[in-house]
Structure 1
Amino acid sequence: MTYPSLKKCGVCGLMKPSSQMMPGDLVRAPIASLIEVEHPQWSADQFICLEDLNTYRALHIEKSLIAERGELSSLEREVVDSLREHELLSANVDDEFIGQRTLGDRLSDRLAAFGGSWSFLILFTGGMAMWIGVNAIVLRTSAFDAYPFILLNLVLSFIAAIQAPVIMMSQNRLEARDRMRAEHDYRINLKAELEIRHLHVKLDELMSHQWERMMEIQQMEVELMTELCRGKNR
Protein backbone atom coordinates (compact mmCIF):
# COMPACT_ATOMS: atom_id res chain seq x y z
CA MET A 1 0.00 0.00 0.00
CA THR A 2 1.36 3.39 -0.97
CA TYR A 3 0.68 6.47 1.14
CA PRO A 4 0.60 10.00 -0.24
CA SER A 5 3.70 12.03 0.50
CA LEU A 6 3.27 14.57 3.25
CA LYS A 7 4.47 18.13 3.21
CA LYS A 8 4.57 20.74 5.92
CA CYS A 9 2.49 23.90 5.62
CA GLY A 10 4.60 26.96 6.29
CA VAL A 11 1.59 28.81 7.75
CA CYS A 12 -0.21 26.41 10.08
CA GLY A 13 2.74 24.03 10.50
CA LEU A 14 0.66 20.90 9.90
CA MET A 15 1.72 17.93 7.78
CA LYS A 16 -0.74 17.34 4.95
CA PRO A 17 -0.81 15.34 1.67
CA SER A 18 0.81 16.91 -1.37
CA SER A 19 -2.59 17.12 -3.09
CA GLN A 20 -3.64 19.63 -0.41
CA MET A 21 -0.52 21.77 -0.74
CA MET A 22 0.43 24.65 -3.02
CA PRO A 23 4.06 25.65 -3.70
CA GLY A 24 4.83 29.11 -2.41
CA ASP A 25 6.23 30.31 -5.73
CA LEU A 26 2.81 29.76 -7.35
CA VAL A 27 1.00 31.98 -4.85
CA ARG A 28 0.07 35.39 -6.22
CA ALA A 29 2.19 38.28 -5.02
CA PRO A 30 -0.66 40.22 -3.27
CA ILE A 31 -1.73 37.10 -1.40
CA ALA A 32 1.88 36.23 -0.55
CA SER A 33 2.35 39.70 0.94
CA LEU A 34 -0.70 39.18 3.15
CA ILE A 35 0.69 35.87 4.34
CA GLU A 36 4.10 37.38 5.09
CA VAL A 37 2.51 40.13 7.19
CA GLU A 38 0.98 37.62 9.62
CA HIS A 39 3.65 34.92 9.18
CA PRO A 40 7.06 36.53 8.57
CA GLN A 41 8.75 33.11 8.65
CA TRP A 42 6.86 31.99 5.54
CA SER A 43 8.63 32.30 2.18
CA ALA A 44 8.04 31.33 -1.43
CA ASP A 45 10.30 28.29 -0.97
CA GLN A 46 7.80 26.74 1.41
CA PHE A 47 4.35 25.25 0.91
CA ILE A 48 0.91 26.42 2.01
CA CYS A 49 -2.15 24.25 2.47
CA LEU A 50 -5.25 24.97 0.40
CA GLU A 51 -7.29 25.76 3.51
CA ASP A 52 -4.97 28.57 4.57
CA LEU A 53 -4.61 29.70 0.96
CA ASN A 54 -8.39 30.06 0.62
CA THR A 55 -8.46 32.09 3.85
CA TYR A 56 -5.89 34.61 2.61
CA ARG A 57 -7.40 34.57 -0.85
CA ALA A 58 -10.79 35.57 0.62
CA LEU A 59 -9.05 38.24 2.69
CA HIS A 60 -7.42 39.66 -0.44
CA ILE A 61 -10.76 39.66 -2.29
CA GLU A 62 -12.44 41.39 0.65
CA LYS A 63 -9.80 44.13 0.70
CA SER A 64 -10.07 44.53 -3.07
CA LEU A 65 -13.85 44.91 -2.88
CA ILE A 66 -13.56 47.44 -0.06
CA ALA A 67 -11.05 49.42 -2.11
CA GLU A 68 -13.36 49.38 -5.15
CA ARG A 69 -16.79 49.79 -3.55
CA GLY A 70 -16.19 51.01 -0.03
CA GLU A 71 -18.00 49.26 2.81
CA LEU A 72 -19.20 45.77 1.89
CA SER A 73 -22.88 44.98 1.97
CA SER A 74 -24.27 41.89 3.66
CA LEU A 75 -24.65 40.15 0.28
CA GLU A 76 -21.03 40.86 -0.73
CA ARG A 77 -19.76 39.72 2.68
CA GLU A 78 -21.75 36.50 2.25
CA VAL A 79 -20.00 35.93 -1.09
CA VAL A 80 -16.60 36.51 0.51
CA ASP A 81 -17.44 34.07 3.31
CA SER A 82 -18.50 31.45 0.75
CA LEU A 83 -15.14 31.86 -1.00
CA ARG A 84 -13.36 31.49 2.32
CA GLU A 85 -15.33 28.36 3.27
CA HIS A 86 -15.31 27.06 -0.32
CA GLU A 87 -19.11 26.72 -0.29
CA LEU A 88 -21.68 26.77 -3.07
CA LEU A 89 -24.19 29.59 -3.35
CA SER A 90 -26.62 27.86 -5.72
CA ALA A 91 -30.00 27.20 -4.15
CA ASN A 92 -33.62 26.72 -5.16
CA VAL A 93 -35.16 30.10 -4.35
CA ASP A 94 -38.71 28.89 -5.01
CA ASP A 95 -38.47 26.10 -2.42
CA GLU A 96 -36.99 28.50 0.12
CA PHE A 97 -39.73 31.06 -0.54
CA ILE A 98 -42.52 28.50 -0.34
CA GLY A 99 -41.17 27.21 2.95
CA GLN A 100 -41.48 30.69 4.50
CA ARG A 101 -45.20 31.12 3.72
CA THR A 102 -47.71 31.24 6.56
CA LEU A 103 -51.26 29.87 6.57
CA GLY A 104 -52.66 33.27 5.61
CA ASP A 105 -50.14 33.56 2.76
CA ARG A 106 -51.12 30.16 1.35
CA LEU A 107 -54.83 31.00 1.65
CA SER A 108 -54.46 34.35 -0.10
CA ASP A 109 -52.39 32.76 -2.88
CA ARG A 110 -55.09 30.17 -3.50
CA LEU A 111 -57.84 32.80 -3.47
CA ALA A 112 -55.85 35.02 -5.87
CA ALA A 113 -55.20 32.05 -8.16
CA PHE A 114 -58.88 31.11 -8.17
CA GLY A 115 -60.00 34.73 -8.65
CA GLY A 116 -57.84 35.03 -11.76
CA SER A 117 -58.99 31.82 -13.41
CA TRP A 118 -61.63 30.97 -16.01
CA SER A 119 -63.45 28.85 -13.43
CA PHE A 120 -64.13 31.90 -11.28
CA LEU A 121 -65.19 33.94 -14.32
CA ILE A 122 -67.64 31.29 -15.51
CA LEU A 123 -69.09 30.68 -12.03
CA PHE A 124 -69.35 34.40 -11.34
CA THR A 125 -71.09 35.11 -14.66
CA GLY A 126 -73.46 32.18 -14.16
CA GLY A 127 -74.30 33.31 -10.62
CA MET A 128 -75.07 36.85 -11.72
CA ALA A 129 -77.27 35.60 -14.60
CA MET A 130 -79.15 33.29 -12.23
CA TRP A 131 -79.61 36.08 -9.65
CA ILE A 132 -80.98 38.49 -12.25
CA GLY A 133 -83.16 35.81 -13.87
CA VAL A 134 -84.73 34.71 -10.59
CA ASN A 135 -85.51 38.25 -9.45
CA ALA A 136 -86.58 39.63 -12.83
CA ILE A 137 -88.51 36.65 -14.25
CA VAL A 138 -89.28 33.88 -11.76
CA LEU A 139 -90.04 36.01 -8.71
CA ARG A 140 -91.18 39.08 -10.55
CA THR A 141 -93.93 39.94 -8.06
CA SER A 142 -92.17 38.84 -4.85
CA ALA A 143 -88.49 39.31 -5.75
CA PHE A 144 -86.09 39.52 -2.80
CA ASP A 145 -83.86 41.87 -4.87
CA ALA A 146 -86.00 43.67 -7.40
CA TYR A 147 -84.66 45.92 -10.13
CA PRO A 148 -82.24 47.85 -9.93
CA PHE A 149 -80.75 44.95 -7.86
CA ILE A 150 -79.43 46.92 -4.91
CA LEU A 151 -78.55 43.79 -2.95
CA LEU A 152 -76.62 42.43 -5.93
CA ASN A 153 -74.63 45.67 -6.12
CA LEU A 154 -73.84 45.34 -2.41
CA VAL A 155 -72.62 41.77 -2.89
CA LEU A 156 -70.48 42.79 -5.87
CA SER A 157 -68.98 45.68 -3.90
CA PHE A 158 -68.20 43.31 -1.02
CA ILE A 159 -66.52 40.81 -3.36
CA ALA A 160 -64.45 43.57 -4.99
CA ALA A 161 -63.44 44.97 -1.58
CA ILE A 162 -62.22 41.54 -0.44
CA GLN A 163 -60.67 40.44 -3.71
CA ALA A 164 -58.49 43.52 -4.23
CA PRO A 165 -56.46 43.21 -0.98
CA VAL A 166 -56.07 39.46 -1.50
CA ILE A 167 -54.65 40.01 -4.99
CA MET A 168 -52.36 42.76 -3.68
CA MET A 169 -51.02 40.47 -0.93
CA SER A 170 -50.29 37.79 -3.51
CA GLN A 171 -48.59 40.31 -5.80
CA ASN A 172 -46.47 41.60 -2.91
CA ARG A 173 -45.24 38.09 -2.22
CA LEU A 174 -44.41 37.63 -5.90
CA GLU A 175 -42.38 40.83 -5.77
CA ALA A 176 -40.63 39.57 -2.63
CA ARG A 177 -39.79 36.33 -4.43
CA ASP A 178 -38.44 38.30 -7.41
CA ARG A 179 -36.25 40.35 -5.05
CA MET A 180 -34.99 37.16 -3.46
CA ARG A 181 -34.15 35.78 -6.91
CA ALA A 182 -32.37 39.02 -7.85
CA GLU A 183 -30.27 38.92 -4.66
CA HIS A 184 -29.45 35.28 -5.27
CA ASP A 185 -28.43 35.99 -8.87
CA TYR A 186 -26.31 38.93 -7.71
CA ARG A 187 -24.43 36.76 -5.21
CA ILE A 188 -23.75 34.09 -7.84
CA ASN A 189 -22.69 36.63 -10.47
CA LEU A 190 -20.37 38.40 -8.03
CA LYS A 191 -18.76 35.13 -7.00
CA ALA A 192 -18.37 34.06 -10.63
CA GLU A 193 -16.81 37.43 -11.47
CA LEU A 194 -14.31 37.11 -8.62
CA GLU A 195 -13.49 33.52 -9.57
CA ILE A 196 -12.97 34.44 -13.23
CA ARG A 197 -10.78 37.38 -12.25
CA HIS A 198 -8.69 35.08 -10.07
CA LEU A 199 -8.39 32.52 -12.89
CA HIS A 200 -7.23 35.17 -15.35
CA VAL A 201 -4.52 36.36 -12.99
CA LYS A 202 -3.52 32.77 -12.25
CA LEU A 203 -3.23 31.94 -15.96
CA ASP A 204 -1.08 35.02 -16.52
CA GLU A 205 1.22 33.98 -13.70
CA LEU A 206 1.47 30.40 -14.99
CA MET A 207 2.30 31.65 -18.49
CA SER A 208 4.92 33.95 -17.00
CA HIS A 209 6.48 31.06 -15.08
CA GLN A 210 6.47 28.86 -18.17
CA TRP A 211 8.07 31.63 -20.21
CA GLU A 212 10.82 32.07 -17.63
CA ARG A 213 11.48 28.33 -17.56
CA MET A 214 11.55 28.16 -21.36
CA MET A 215 14.07 31.00 -21.41
CA GLU A 216 16.20 29.19 -18.83
CA ILE A 217 16.06 25.98 -20.89
CA GLN A 218 16.93 27.90 -24.05
CA GLN A 219 19.86 29.56 -22.28
CA MET A 220 21.12 26.16 -21.12
CA GLU A 221 20.82 24.80 -24.66
CA VAL A 222 22.81 27.75 -26.01
CA GLU A 223 25.51 27.18 -23.41
CA LEU A 224 25.67 23.47 -24.26
CA MET A 225 25.89 24.22 -27.97
CA THR A 226 28.66 26.72 -27.27
CA GLU A 227 30.63 24.17 -25.25
CA LEU A 228 30.17 21.53 -27.97
CA CYS A 229 31.43 23.95 -30.62
CA ARG A 230 34.45 24.79 -28.50
CA GLY A 231 35.19 21.06 -28.00
CA LYS A 232 35.08 20.43 -31.75
CA ASN A 233 37.37 23.38 -32.49
CA ARG A 234 39.93 22.00 -30.07
Structure 2
Amino acid sequence: MSRGALVLWVGVLSVIFLRRHLWLHQWAALVIVTFGVCLVGLSGSLVKQQLSDPIDLLVTLAQRPDDDPARVALGVMLILFAQIFTASQYVVEEKIMSHYKVEPLAAVTLEGFFGLTTTLIGMPFLHIFLRNKSPYFDIPRGWHQIISTPTVYLSCVAIMFSIGAFNFFGLSVTHRVSATTRSTVDTCRTLGIWVVSLGLGWEKLVWPFTLLQVGGFAMLV
Protein backbone atom coordinates (compact mmCIF):
# COMPACT_ATOMS: atom_id res chain seq x y z
CA MET A 1 0.00 0.00 0.00
CA SER A 2 2.71 2.45 1.01
CA ARG A 3 4.73 1.85 -2.15
CA GLY A 4 2.09 3.74 -4.11
CA ALA A 5 3.35 6.92 -2.42
CA LEU A 6 6.29 6.87 -4.86
CA VAL A 7 4.45 8.92 -7.47
CA LEU A 8 3.60 11.63 -4.94
CA TRP A 9 7.17 11.83 -3.64
CA VAL A 10 8.51 12.15 -7.20
CA GLY A 11 6.00 14.90 -7.92
CA VAL A 12 6.95 16.83 -4.77
CA LEU A 13 10.69 16.43 -5.30
CA SER A 14 10.37 17.42 -8.96
CA VAL A 15 8.75 20.68 -7.90
CA ILE A 16 11.40 21.34 -5.24
CA PHE A 17 14.60 20.37 -7.05
CA LEU A 18 13.72 20.52 -10.76
CA ARG A 19 11.60 23.69 -10.46
CA ARG A 20 8.85 21.93 -12.38
CA HIS A 21 5.32 23.30 -12.19
CA LEU A 22 2.56 20.72 -11.83
CA TRP A 23 -0.98 21.84 -12.55
CA LEU A 24 -3.95 21.02 -10.33
CA HIS A 25 -5.19 18.25 -12.63
CA GLN A 26 -1.70 16.65 -12.50
CA TRP A 27 -1.67 16.68 -8.69
CA ALA A 28 -5.19 15.22 -8.75
CA ALA A 29 -4.00 12.44 -11.06
CA LEU A 30 -1.09 11.58 -8.75
CA VAL A 31 -3.44 11.43 -5.75
CA ILE A 32 -5.89 9.19 -7.66
CA VAL A 33 -3.08 6.79 -8.65
CA THR A 34 -1.85 6.64 -5.05
CA PHE A 35 -5.35 6.09 -3.70
CA GLY A 36 -5.98 3.33 -6.25
CA VAL A 37 -2.83 1.47 -5.18
CA CYS A 38 -3.86 1.84 -1.53
CA LEU A 39 -7.26 0.30 -2.31
CA VAL A 40 -5.57 -2.68 -3.97
CA GLY A 41 -3.23 -3.14 -1.01
CA LEU A 42 -6.10 -2.84 1.45
CA SER A 43 -8.15 -5.47 -0.38
CA GLY A 44 -5.16 -7.83 -0.35
CA SER A 45 -4.74 -7.50 3.41
CA LEU A 46 -8.46 -7.95 4.00
CA VAL A 47 -8.45 -11.19 2.00
CA LYS A 48 -5.55 -12.57 4.02
CA GLN A 49 -7.14 -11.57 7.33
CA GLN A 50 -10.62 -12.80 6.37
CA LEU A 51 -12.36 -14.65 9.19
CA SER A 52 -15.58 -16.61 8.92
CA ASP A 53 -16.90 -15.87 12.41
CA PRO A 54 -17.13 -12.44 14.13
CA ILE A 55 -16.24 -14.15 17.45
CA ASP A 56 -12.93 -15.27 15.89
CA LEU A 57 -12.26 -11.66 14.95
CA LEU A 58 -12.68 -10.50 18.56
CA VAL A 59 -10.47 -13.32 19.85
CA THR A 60 -7.77 -12.46 17.29
CA LEU A 61 -7.82 -8.80 18.25
CA ALA A 62 -7.57 -9.68 21.94
CA GLN A 63 -4.56 -11.94 21.36
CA ARG A 64 -2.51 -9.34 19.49
CA PRO A 65 0.71 -8.32 21.26
CA ASP A 66 0.81 -4.90 22.90
CA ASP A 67 3.54 -3.65 20.59
CA ASP A 68 1.70 -4.66 17.42
CA PRO A 69 0.69 -1.06 16.45
CA ALA A 70 4.28 0.08 17.01
CA ARG A 71 5.58 -2.61 14.68
CA VAL A 72 3.08 -1.68 12.01
CA ALA A 73 3.94 2.02 12.34
CA LEU A 74 7.67 1.25 12.09
CA GLY A 75 7.13 -0.88 9.00
CA VAL A 76 5.09 1.83 7.28
CA MET A 77 7.70 4.47 8.16
CA LEU A 78 10.51 2.34 6.72
CA ILE A 79 8.57 1.76 3.50
CA LEU A 80 7.79 5.46 3.17
CA PHE A 81 11.46 6.28 3.75
CA ALA A 82 12.47 3.79 1.07
CA GLN A 83 10.03 5.39 -1.40
CA ILE A 84 11.48 8.85 -0.70
CA PHE A 85 14.93 7.43 -1.46
CA THR A 86 13.71 5.85 -4.71
CA ALA A 87 11.95 9.08 -5.68
CA SER A 88 15.16 11.01 -5.01
CA GLN A 89 17.02 8.64 -7.34
CA TYR A 90 14.47 9.23 -10.12
CA VAL A 91 14.69 13.02 -9.74
CA VAL A 92 18.51 13.05 -9.57
CA GLU A 93 18.65 10.89 -12.71
CA GLU A 94 16.38 13.31 -14.56
CA LYS A 95 18.45 16.29 -13.40
CA ILE A 96 21.70 14.68 -14.57
CA MET A 97 20.27 13.57 -17.90
CA SER A 98 18.81 17.03 -18.56
CA HIS A 99 22.15 18.78 -17.95
CA TYR A 100 24.55 16.25 -19.48
CA LYS A 101 24.42 14.09 -22.57
CA VAL A 102 24.20 10.66 -20.93
CA GLU A 103 22.78 7.72 -22.82
CA PRO A 104 20.38 5.57 -20.74
CA LEU A 105 22.44 2.42 -21.37
CA ALA A 106 25.61 4.16 -20.14
CA ALA A 107 23.79 5.43 -17.04
CA VAL A 108 22.47 1.95 -16.24
CA THR A 109 25.96 0.50 -16.66
CA LEU A 110 27.49 3.09 -14.31
CA GLU A 111 24.75 2.55 -11.71
CA GLY A 112 25.17 -1.22 -11.90
CA PHE A 113 28.96 -0.97 -11.57
CA PHE A 114 28.59 1.32 -8.55
CA GLY A 115 26.10 -1.07 -6.93
CA LEU A 116 28.36 -4.06 -7.60
CA THR A 117 31.40 -2.26 -6.16
CA THR A 118 29.69 -1.11 -2.97
CA THR A 119 28.17 -4.57 -2.43
CA LEU A 120 31.51 -6.34 -2.89
CA ILE A 121 33.15 -3.90 -0.45
CA GLY A 122 30.41 -4.28 2.16
CA MET A 123 29.99 -8.09 2.00
CA PRO A 124 33.27 -9.05 3.76
CA PHE A 125 32.57 -6.70 6.68
CA LEU A 126 29.00 -7.95 7.04
CA HIS A 127 30.26 -11.53 6.89
CA ILE A 128 32.87 -10.97 9.60
CA PHE A 129 30.68 -9.06 12.06
CA LEU A 130 27.16 -10.34 11.44
CA ARG A 131 27.33 -13.91 10.13
CA ASN A 132 26.88 -15.36 13.63
CA LYS A 133 23.79 -13.23 14.20
CA SER A 134 22.03 -13.85 10.90
CA PRO A 135 22.53 -16.47 8.14
CA TYR A 136 21.78 -13.81 5.52
CA PHE A 137 25.33 -12.46 5.88
CA ASP A 138 27.09 -15.85 5.67
CA ILE A 139 28.83 -15.66 2.27
CA PRO A 140 29.88 -19.36 1.87
CA ARG A 141 26.42 -20.56 2.92
CA GLY A 142 24.65 -18.18 0.55
CA TRP A 143 26.99 -19.01 -2.36
CA HIS A 144 26.46 -22.75 -1.79
CA GLN A 145 22.68 -22.36 -1.71
CA ILE A 146 22.68 -20.45 -5.00
CA ILE A 147 25.09 -22.71 -6.92
CA SER A 148 23.70 -26.03 -5.68
CA THR A 149 20.09 -25.14 -6.53
CA PRO A 150 19.54 -24.78 -10.30
CA THR A 151 16.16 -23.07 -9.84
CA VAL A 152 17.70 -20.34 -7.67
CA TYR A 153 20.76 -20.01 -9.93
CA LEU A 154 18.70 -19.62 -13.11
CA SER A 155 16.33 -17.24 -11.33
CA CYS A 156 19.29 -15.05 -10.32
CA VAL A 157 20.47 -14.84 -13.93
CA ALA A 158 16.96 -14.06 -15.18
CA ILE A 159 16.49 -11.39 -12.50
CA MET A 160 19.77 -9.71 -13.48
CA PHE A 161 18.63 -9.34 -17.10
CA SER A 162 15.15 -8.30 -15.99
CA ILE A 163 16.41 -5.55 -13.66
CA GLY A 164 18.91 -4.35 -16.26
CA ALA A 165 16.17 -4.04 -18.89
CA PHE A 166 13.79 -2.45 -16.38
CA ASN A 167 16.32 0.23 -15.42
CA PHE A 168 17.25 0.89 -19.05
CA PHE A 169 13.64 1.41 -20.14
CA GLY A 170 12.93 3.43 -17.00
CA LEU A 171 15.86 5.78 -17.66
CA SER A 172 14.77 6.08 -21.29
CA VAL A 173 11.33 7.27 -20.15
CA THR A 174 12.99 9.70 -17.71
CA HIS A 175 15.26 11.00 -20.48
CA ARG A 176 12.45 11.43 -23.04
CA VAL A 177 9.60 12.53 -20.75
CA SER A 178 10.07 12.98 -16.98
CA ALA A 179 10.68 11.20 -13.68
CA THR A 180 7.04 11.69 -12.69
CA THR A 181 5.87 9.83 -15.78
CA ARG A 182 8.34 7.03 -15.08
CA SER A 183 7.13 6.63 -11.50
CA THR A 184 3.50 6.52 -12.65
CA VAL A 185 4.24 3.81 -15.23
CA ASP A 186 6.29 1.99 -12.58
CA THR A 187 3.31 1.95 -10.22
CA CYS A 188 1.17 0.40 -12.98
CA ARG A 189 3.29 -2.76 -12.71
CA THR A 190 0.94 -3.76 -9.91
CA LEU A 191 -1.82 -4.29 -12.47
CA GLY A 192 0.34 -6.63 -14.56
CA ILE A 193 1.37 -8.59 -11.47
CA TRP A 194 -2.29 -8.98 -10.44
CA VAL A 195 -3.39 -10.21 -13.89
CA VAL A 196 -0.51 -12.72 -14.14
CA SER A 197 -1.13 -13.93 -10.57
CA LEU A 198 -4.80 -14.52 -11.38
CA GLY A 199 -3.84 -16.48 -14.49
CA LEU A 200 -1.38 -18.65 -12.55
CA GLY A 201 -3.83 -19.22 -9.71
CA TRP A 202 -1.71 -17.42 -7.10
CA GLU A 203 -4.45 -14.82 -6.54
CA LYS A 204 -8.11 -15.60 -5.89
CA LEU A 205 -11.18 -13.51 -6.56
CA VAL A 206 -12.87 -13.20 -3.17
CA TRP A 207 -16.21 -11.42 -2.85
CA PRO A 208 -16.62 -8.56 -1.87
CA PHE A 209 -12.91 -7.70 -1.61
CA THR A 210 -12.47 -8.18 -5.36
CA LEU A 211 -14.60 -5.05 -5.88
CA LEU A 212 -11.93 -3.06 -4.01
CA GLN A 213 -9.22 -4.53 -6.23
CA VAL A 214 -11.09 -3.81 -9.46
CA GLY A 215 -11.96 -0.30 -8.28
CA GLY A 216 -8.36 0.39 -7.23
CA PHE A 217 -6.93 -0.81 -10.55
CA ALA A 218 -9.56 1.21 -12.45
CA MET A 219 -8.38 4.34 -10.61
CA LEU A 220 -4.77 3.38 -11.31
CA VAL A 221 -5.35 3.03 -15.05
TM range (shorter): under 0.3
* Structure with the larger RCO, 1 or 2 (CA within 8 Å, 6+ apart): 2
Between Structure 1 and Structure 2, the one with more helix by share is: 2
Between Structure 1 and Structure 2, the one with more strand by share is: 1
TM-score between the two structures when normalised by the length of structure 2: 0.22
TM-score between the two structures when normalised by the length of structure 1: 0.21
| Bigger radius of gyration | 1
